[in-house]
Amino acid sequence: MDRIIISDAEFSCIIGVGEAERSCRQPLFLDMELWMDLSKAAVSDSIKDTINYSTVCKKVGERIEGKSYKLIESVAEDAAQVILSDSKVFKARVLVKKPSAIKCAKHAAVEITRENSLA
């Protein structure tokens, strides 16, 4: 199956369990993979036969930046559900990286994979 890959899309939101973490917006970085059939788009060279990457990022960003979260697991689920709202997408993989989660690490991350019941 074909995949569209978006790497290190940056969004910010209120995220964290502790009060100090929730006092200001923090950056999150998302990698998103969208499994879909790209054969028609490859032949037609038309955006209508695929998904506009910019639109995907905009919709995911609107969802994430419009909410507050305690867990990056919830961020990943929300992003996957936004992606899967397009019936062209069979499966989505979302990796959410939180740079400020652990002092001794570059980031903490959660990865989920979800399949589309609409496809």
Residues that are catalytic: 98
Contact 3, 35 (CB under 8 A): yes
What's the half-sphere exposure (Cβ side, CA atoms, 13 Å) at 58? Answer: 5
Pairing of β 68-69 and β 2-15: parallel
Instruction: Please state, in angstroms and rounded to a whole number, the distance separating the CA atoms of residues 29 and 71.
Output: 14
